Structure 1
Amino acid sequence: MKFVDVIIPLAVEGVFTYVVPEILEEKIREGVLVIVPFVGNKKYTGLVCRVHSEKPLGYEAKVLEDLAEEDISFSALHLRFLEWVAAYYMALPGDVLRAALPIIFRLESFTDITLTEEDIDFTDLTENEQAFVRFLRKGEYTALREAEKYLKIRNGWRLVKSLLNKGYLQVRETIDEAFKEKTEKWIKWARNFNEAELNRVLDRLKRAPVQYQMLCKWIETGEEEMEKHRFLTEGGGSAAILKALCDKNILAQEERVVSRLDVVPVQEQVCHALSVIQQQAFQQIQYHFRVKECVLLQGVTSSGKTEIYIHLIREYIARGKQVLYMLPEIALTVQIIKRLRRVFGDTIGIYHSGMPDQVRAELWKKQCSTDPYPVVLGVRSSVFLPFQKLGLIIVDEEHDSSYKQKEPSPRYQGRDAAIMLAKMHRAKVLLGSATPSFETYYNIKNGKYGYVSLTSRYGDILMPEIQFADVAEYRRKKQMKGSFSPLLYREMKQVLEEGKQVILFQNRRGYSAYMQCDACGATLKCDHCDVSMTYYKQRDILSCRYCGSIKKPEELCGECGKGHYRLRTPGTEKIEEEVVRLFPGVRVARMDMEAMNSRAKYQSVIDDFEQGKTQVLVGTQMVSKGLDFENVKLVGVMDADSMVNFPDFRAEERAYEMLMQVSGRSGRKGQRGLVVIQTADLQNRIYKLLFRQDYATFYAELAEERQNFAYPPFCRLISVEIRHKEVVALRSMANQLASRLREQLGKRVCGPAVPEVGRIGGMYRLQIIIKIEQGASFSKVKAFLKQELAGLQKGKGFSGFRMICDVDPG
C-alpha cells in the first residue's frame, strides 16, 4: 500500500498522510497537486511532498481522492525551496504553499445543498429558515454561497446545521474547477465551395438581403476564417444574421482555445551597444561570477544599469538558461516592460499580484510546460514560480523595503529568498542599486559578494544639484505659499516656463495626514487602531491606513467638546490641489495607492507624463523608484523630516535611500537637474551626507552605531509580536514569554515593548526582539523559540492570543 504526505494550503502545523488508491498509484509522485478530504467532508487541493509505504501510527489515514492539476507539478528543487522558506522564516508549510500557488490552483470544496423528501412544517421554522427553504428546490443542488448571496446573509452554515438537524436538508461537498481555458469563437466556411456553388448560394440569399450583404462583405475580405467579434464588426450585422447563415450550412462557428498571456508581435530586436564604462562593468560582473555566487552592481541613478541587465539576460538566454528579473513594485513594471519587449519580444513573461488570477495561473502552467518563458519579470512573489533551467536572478533596487513581506505569513525577504533559490539552482545573482542595503554592503566589505560600481551617469550627465529650503525660517517670516517654500515655488515657475517637467514627492497619501483639535491638541484617531486617520477630500472621508475602517469627518473635538478639528500635514491630494491653484493651466497628475487603483491607470499616468501631456507629477514613494522621464528638470521633496525622524533603527538608512532615489529622477537627459528638499532641520546629519552624495561615508558613519548597539547587519533579529484584545492579559503573557526566553537567551532578549502602533484592528500589541550575534547558532535559537511558543499555546488561558514571529524584520 502506498501513502503520501500532503501539504494543505491552510494555517495548520505539519503535513498530513493519506492512502493512495490503486487506480492513482502510477500517477502519484512528489510535487503533484491532489484533492484530499480534510476536517469533516471538506476537500482541499494539497501538494504531495513525500511518497512512502509507512502506515501512520495512532489513526486511520483517509484516502486521497484525485489529482487536481495534471499540468502542474513541483520539482524536487522547488519543494526544497518551499521547505527552506517555511523553516527559515518560521512559517507554516500551508502558509508558504498559499503564497506560492495562484488562488485558482488552491481549490477548496464548496457546500451544495438540496431539500430532502420530508414534508416541511413551516411553523417549526424561524423566518430566516423559511426564506432559506423557499429558495431551494427538491432534487436540485444549489451552492450554499449562492443562497447566501441571494438572501444577503453572511453565515448560512448556521441555518444549514439547524435544517439538517430537522431533516429538511441534504448536503454534499464538490470541487469547482476554477481554472478554465480561455476560448474564442471563429467563423469559417462550413465547407469548400467552388465558384458555381457559391454563386448559387448568393442567388438564393437575395431574398434575405441582410444575410446576402453580410456574406458579400465576408467574401470581399478574402479571408478563410475570422474571429467572431471582428467578423460581426466588419460585416456590420448581428449575431442573429450570422446564426441564420450557420443554420443554412454556409458558415460555421468554431471554438478555439487562446492564451490569456500577452502576445507581442515579433519585431526587430533593439539592443543598444554598451558604453566603454558599461562594458567594463559588464566584464567585471562576468569575472566575479566565475568565483562568486552573488554580485552587487552599485550604480548612481541613470548610470545605465538596466542596459547591462539586458546584455546579461541575452547572454544567459543564449546558453539555454532562464532568467528572473525582480522589481520591488508593480508600478515599476510599466516602463521596464516596454523596454524589455523591444529587445526580447514575446519571450518575456510578466508576473505580479495585480494580474487577474486566471492570467497568473496560465503563466504557471506555461512555466511547467516544455515551452516556458526564458525571461520572467516579476515582484517578490515571482520567486515561487517553477523554474526548470534557472541561470540568473537580477534583483533591481535590492535595497527596497517592498521586497519584505509583512502580512500575511510567510514574512519572507524577497531578495534573500532569491539568493537562496539561485544557490539551489546553482545560478548567479546580480543585485542592483544606487544605495545598497546595509546587509548587502556588509557582505561586500566581508568579501562574500562581488562588487562592481558605476560612478557616473550615462553620457557623462552631471548628477542633480541639491538645494535645501529652510521651511522653519520661511514660516517664521510668513513667506510660505501653502506647502511651498519661496525657493521651490520660484524654481517650479522657471522650470515650467522652460517647458520642462516637475516631480513633487510627498510620502503621505490623502488630503491631510491627520485632524487635530485647535483647543486641546487631540488628534482624531481610528476606533480600532492607535493611529490618526487620514482625510481624503475627494471622498470626504477619514480612513485608517492600517485596518481600512472609514468614517465621516467630525467638526467638534470628541475629547474636550470645545475645540474644532483642523487639517494638519498635507498629503498628495492637498499638494495636487495647491499646484493647480498656484500654477493655473498646468496639467497635474497624482501617483499614489489611492489614485493608482488599476494597471491601466498606472499606464495612463506614466504615458501622459512621458509624452509631455502632464507637466507636474505628484506622488508618494512610487515616483522615487526606477522611473525614467527625460524631460524632468526639477524634483521637489515636500517634507523630508517625517522620514528622518521615524522611530526605527533603519529610519536614517531608509530616508537616505528614498531621497537619493527620488533625486535621481531629475536631469536624466540633457541639462543638469535640480532637487529642492524642504526641511525644518537643516543641521541633521542625513542632509549633510546626502549633499555629499557619498554612500561609503554614509555607511561607515551609521554602521559604527549599528555595531555598538548590536543591530543588523552586525547581528540577526527575530521579532515576536503578541496580540490580544485585553491589554492586561497581553502584558502578563508577554512578560511570561520574555522571562522564559531570558532563561536560555539572557541579554539577547529585548522587551516586551509597545511597537510603533500599539493597537491595530482592536488588538493590542507588544513586541519582543531577540538579537542573535554573529557566531551563535541561528537555527538553534529558532528551534528553542518555537518550542517555547508551542509550550505557551498548550497551556491554560492561551485562547484569544496571537503570536507572530518575524525573522529578519524589515
Structure 2
Amino acid sequence: MTFADVLVPVPIMGSFTYRVPAEMSDTLSVGHRVIVPFGRKKFYTGIVTGLSNIGPEDYEVKDIAFQLDSRPVVRHPQLKFWQWVADYYLCTPGEVMRAAMPAGLKVESETFIMPNPDYEEREDERLNQRELAVMELLLGTDKKMPLDVIAKKTGFANIVSVANSLLAKEAVMISENLVERYRSRKETYVRLAIPKGDSDTLHKVFDSVKSGGKQEKALLALIELSGFMRQGGELNEVTRTELIERAAVTTTVVAAMAKKGIVEIYTKEVNRFSYSGLVSGKLPVLTDAQSAALDAVHKSWLEHDVTLLHGVTSSGKTELYIHLIDYVIRNGRQALYLVPEIALTTQLTGRLQRVFGDKVVIYHSKFSDNERVDLWKKLLDSSEPCVVIGARSSVFLPFASLGLVIVDEEHESAYKQQDPAPRYNARDAAMVLASMHGAKTLLGSATPSIETYYKATTGRFGLVELTERFEGMKLPEMRVIDMSDARKKGLVSGTFAFETERLVNESLKRGEQSILFINRRGYAPIARCKLCGYVPKCNNCDVSLTYHRHVDKLVCHYCATPYAVPEVCPACQEPGIEVLGYGTERVEEEVESLFGNATIARMDLDTTRSKD
C-alpha cells in the first residue's frame, strides 16, 4: 500500500497523508496535482510532496479522490523553494502554495445552496425579509447557486449568516461542487481529407466543387495556405479563421465541404501568447563604459554569486542586461528579469521582444487566471532557453534551468509583499532561488538600498559601478521652489508656482515632454466642514476619505468603500462641506486649463487598472 504526503493550500503547518488508490499507484509522483477530501465536506487541490510505503498509525487515512494531470505541474526545485519561503518568512507551506500557484490550477470546492423541496414554513420559525429575498431568488431560478452569486444579486454583505439561518430552519440544502477555474484556449483548424501527393483524388475533389464557386475558392485557398502542392516537408496547419479571411467565405461553406468529406475540421488547445512582430536579433551597441562594466560583471561572478551594478540614471543598464540575457540564452539556460512595477513590464517587453522574439515571457498579477495558467504550462512543457519579465510573483514560476536573475531597481519597496502571507521580499527570495539553480544574480540600481550597498562594499557581494551616462549626457539641474514662500509673495497660480508654469510652457514650445509628479490620488485628499471642522471618515477603517470627482464620491483608500458626498454636515447640519488639497485629478484639470494645447495623460491607480 502506498501513501502520499500532500501539500494543501491552507494555513496549517505541514503536509497531510492520504492513501494512494491502486489505480493511481503507477502514475502518481512528486509534483502531481490531486483532489483530496479535507474536513467533513471540503475538497482541495493538493500537490504530492512525497510517497512512502509506511502510513501513520494513530489516525484513519483518507483516499486521494482524483489525480488531475498526467504529468507533474510543480518541479522539485519549486517545492524546495516554497519550504524555504515558509521557514524564512514565518508562514506555512500551504500559504506559499496558495500565493505561488495560479488560481486556475487550484480546483476547490465551492459552497452552493438550493431550496429544500420538503420545506414548510412553521409559525415559530418565520423567515425574515433577508431570508425571504434569498428564497425568492433560489425558487425563481429553480437551481442551486453559489453563495458569492447570491450575495451579488441580493446585495447582502453577510450572506453566510443568512445561509446558516436558512439551513437551521431547514429551508435550504447545501452542496459542495468542485470548481475548475481554468479554461484553455482552443482554436479550430481545417485540413484536406486526402493524403498529400494524391493527385487523382484531388482532381475528383475539384470536380465535386465546380458547381459551387465559393467551395472552389475555399479549396484553392486551403491548398495554398497548407502548402499541399509543395514538394517535401510537412503541411502547414491552417486555422478556420485564416481560411475564411483568405477565401472570403463563411463558416457555412467550410462546414458544407466537411460534410462532403473534402476537408476535416478539428480543434486543438493553443497557447494564448505568441509574438508576431519584427525580430531583429541585433544586440544593442555598447559604449566603452558599458563594455567595461559588462566585462567587470563577468569577472565579479567568478568570485561572487551576487553582484551589484551601481549605475547612475540613464547610464544604459538595460543594454547591459540584454547582453547578459543573450549570453545565458546562448548557453541554453533561462533568465528571470524582475521589475518592481507592472507598468515597467509593458515598457521593457517591446525592447526585449525585438531582440529575442518568442523567447520573451511576461508574467504578473494583472493577467487573468487563464493567461497565468497558460504561461505556467508553457514553462512547464519546455526547458528551452527564455527570459521571463515579471513583477515579484514571477519568482514562483516553474523554471527548469535558471541561469541568471536580474533584479532591476533592487531598492524598490514594491518587491515586498505586505499582505497576505507569505510576506516576502522578492529581491531576497530571487537570490535564494538563483542559488538553488546554480545561477548568478545581478542587482541593478542608481540608488542601492543601504543593506545591499553595505554588502557590496564589504565584499559579500560583487560591485560594478557605471558612472558615465549614455552618450555623455549630464545629470539634470535640480531646482527647489519653496511653495510657502512663493505663496506669500503671490508667485503661485493654483497648484503651480509661476516658475514651474513658465518652464513647462518653454518645454512645450520646444516640442518636448513634461512629467508632473504628485503623491495623491483622486481630486482632493480631504473633505471638511468649513464651519465646524468635521472630516468624513471611513466606517470600517477610521481614516479620512478622498474625494474623486469622476465618480462624485468620497472613497476610502484603505478598503475602497465609496460614500456619497454629504449635502449638509452630519455634525452641525450646515451646508459647509468643502474639499481641500490637490490630487492627480485636480492637477489634471489645472494642467488642461493652463496648457490646453498639449496632449495630456494621467497615470495613477484609477487610470491603469488593466494589464494594458
Alignment correspondent of 1:183: 186
Alignment correspondent of 2:41: 41
Q: Secondary structure of the residue that 2:581 maps to in structure 1?
A: strand
* 2:362 aligned with 1:355: no
The separation in 2 between residues aligned to 1:404 and 1:577, in whole angstroms, is 34
Indicate conservation of the 8 Å contact 1:544/1:550, yes or no: yes
Deviates more, 1:251-260 or 1:423-432: 251-260
Match of 1:132 among 127, 135, 138: 138
> Following TM superposition, by how much is the alpha carbon of 1:547 offset from its aligned partner in structure 2, in angstroms?
0.7
Indicate conservation of the 8 Å contact 1:148/1:156, yes or no: no
Indicate conservation of the 8 Å contact 1:304/1:457, yes or no: yes
Alignment correspondent of 1:66: 66
Residues 128-173 of structure 1, C-alpha deviation per residue, up to 9 Å, x if partnerless? 5476356447xxxx5646984897587489659967986996x764
The separation in 1 between residues aligned to 2:491 and 2:139, in whole angstroms, is 71
Indicate conservation of the 8 Å contact 2:522/2:586, yes or no: yes
Alignment correspondent of 1:23: 23
| Distance of aligned partners of 1:490 and 1:354 in 2 relative to their CA distance in 1, 3 Å threshold | same
Match of 1:321 among 320, 333, 355: 333
Amino acid in structure 1 at the alignment position of 2:225: E
Indicate conservation of the 8 Å contact 1:352/1:381, yes or no: yes
Amino acid in structure 1 at the alignment position of 2:64: L
TM-score where L is the length of structure 2? 0.88
| Distance of aligned partners of 1:199 and 1:308 in 2 relative to their CA distance in 1, 3 Å threshold | closer
Alignment correspondent of 1:673: none
Alignment of 1:434-583 (within 5 A): 434-562=446-574, 564-583=576-595
Residues 743-793 of structure 1, C-alpha deviation per residue, up to 9 Å, x if partnerless? xxxxxxxxxxxxxxxxxxxxxxxxxxxxxxxxxxxxxxxxxxxxxxxxxxx
Indicate conservation of the 8 Å contact 1:520/1:563, yes or no: no
Amino acid in structure 1 at the alignment position of 2:435: K
* 2:204 aligned with 1:204: no
| Distance of aligned partners of 1:254 and 1:503 in 2 relative to their CA distance in 1, 3 Å threshold | same
Amino acid in structure 2 at the alignment position of 1:132: L
* 2:589 aligned with 1:592: no
Amino acid in structure 2 at the alignment position of 1:271: L
For structure 1, which runs of at least 5 residues remain unmatched after alignment? 206-211, 601-810
Q: Secondary structure of the residue that 1:70 maps to in structure 2?
A: coil
Percentage of identical aligned residues: 36
The separation in 1 between residues aligned to 2:578 and 2:164, in whole angstroms, is 51
> Following TM superposition, by how much is the alpha carbon of 1:555 offset from its aligned partner in structure 2, in angstroms?
4.2
Deviates more, 1:59-68 or 1:489-498: 59-68
Residues 410-443 of structure 1, C-alpha deviation per residue, up to 9 Å, x if partnerless? 1100101111111222221100000111121121
Output the aligned Cα RMSD: 2.9
* 2:295 aligned with 1:283: yes
* 2:11 aligned with 1:8: no
> Following TM superposition, by how much is the alpha carbon of 1:575 offset from its aligned partner in structure 2, in angstroms?
1.0
Amino acid in structure 2 at the alignment position of 1:93: P
Q: Secondary structure of the residue that 1:362 maps to in structure 2?
A: helix
The separation in 2 between residues aligned to 1:510 and 1:110, in whole angstroms, is 37
The separation in 2 between residues aligned to 1:248 and 1:23, in whole angstroms, is 43
Alignment correspondent of 1:259: 271
Deviates more, 1:498-507 or 1:437-446: 437-446
> Following TM superposition, by how much is the alpha carbon of 1:517 offset from its aligned partner in structure 2, in angstroms?
2.7
The separation in 1 between residues aligned to 2:114 and 2:520, in whole angstroms, is 52
The separation in 2 between residues aligned to 1:12 and 1:250, in whole angstroms, is 59
The separation in 2 between residues aligned to 1:370 and 1:237, in whole angstroms, is 37
Amino acid in structure 1 at the alignment position of 2:336: L
The separation in 2 between residues aligned to 1:147 and 1:54, in whole angstroms, is 44
> Following TM superposition, by how much is the alpha carbon of 1:203 offset from its aligned partner in structure 2, in angstroms?
4.1
The separation in 2 between residues aligned to 1:158 and 1:521, in whole angstroms, is 40
For structure 2, which runs of at least 5 residues remain unmatched after alignment? 227-236
Alignment of 1:328-727 (within 5 A): 328-562=340-574, 564-600=576-612
Alignment correspondent of 1:108: 108
Alignment correspondent of 1:704: none
| Distance of aligned partners of 1:115 and 1:599 in 2 relative to their CA distance in 1, 3 Å threshold | closer
Residues 373-429 of structure 1, C-alpha deviation per residue, up to 9 Å, x if partnerless? 521111111111112211211000001110000111111001011111112222211
Alignment of 1:782-801 (within 5 A): none
Residues 24-54 of structure 1, C-alpha deviation per residue, up to 9 Å, x if partnerless? 2233333322211001122110122233344
> Following TM superposition, by how much is the alpha carbon of 1:579 offset from its aligned partner in structure 2, in angstroms?
0.9
Alignment of 1:289-308 (within 5 A): 289-308=301-320
Residues 603-636 of structure 1, C-alpha deviation per residue, up to 9 Å, x if partnerless? xxxxxxxxxxxxxxxxxxxxxxxxxxxxxxxxxx
The separation in 2 between residues aligned to 1:52 and 1:196, in whole angstroms, is 63
Q: Secondary structure of the residue that 2:69 maps to in structure 1?
A: strand
> Following TM superposition, by how much is the alpha carbon of 1:198 offset from its aligned partner in structure 2, in angstroms?
4.7
TM-score where L is the length of structure 1? 0.67
* 2:224 aligned with 1:219: no
Q: Secondary structure of the residue that 1:570 maps to in structure 2?
A: coil
Indicate conservation of the 8 Å contact 2:383/2:400, yes or no: no
Alignment correspondent of 2:87: 87
> Following TM superposition, by how much is the alpha carbon of 1:508 offset from its aligned partner in structure 2, in angstroms?
1.2
Residues 44-99 of structure 1, C-alpha deviation per residue, up to 9 Å, x if partnerless? 10122233344334321211222223334333322121111111111122111111
Amino acid in structure 2 at the alignment position of 1:219: L
The separation in 1 between residues aligned to 2:419 and 2:95, in whole angstroms, is 11
Q: Secondary structure of the residue that 1:525 maps to in structure 2?
A: coil
Q: Secondary structure of the residue that 1:85 maps to in structure 2?
A: helix
Deviates more, 1:83-92 or 1:146-155: 146-155
> Following TM superposition, by how much is the alpha carbon of 1:494 offset from its aligned partner in structure 2, in angstroms?
0.7
Q: Secondary structure of the residue that 1:475 maps to in structure 2?
A: helix
> Following TM superposition, by how much is the alpha carbon of 1:505 offset from its aligned partner in structure 2, in angstroms?
0.7
| Distance of aligned partners of 1:163 and 1:443 in 2 relative to their CA distance in 1, 3 Å threshold | closer
Matched length: 587
> Following TM superposition, by how much is the alpha carbon of 1:343 offset from its aligned partner in structure 2, in angstroms?
1.3
| Distance of aligned partners of 1:188 and 1:317 in 2 relative to their CA distance in 1, 3 Å threshold | closer
The separation in 1 between residues aligned to 2:318 and 2:453, in whole angstroms, is 20
Amino acid in structure 2 at the alignment position of 1:19: R
Indicate conservation of the 8 Å contact 2:30/2:72, yes or no: no
Amino acid in structure 2 at the alignment position of 1:356: S
Amino acid in structure 2 at the alignment position of 1:46: G
Indicate conservation of the 8 Å contact 2:31/2:48, yes or no: yes
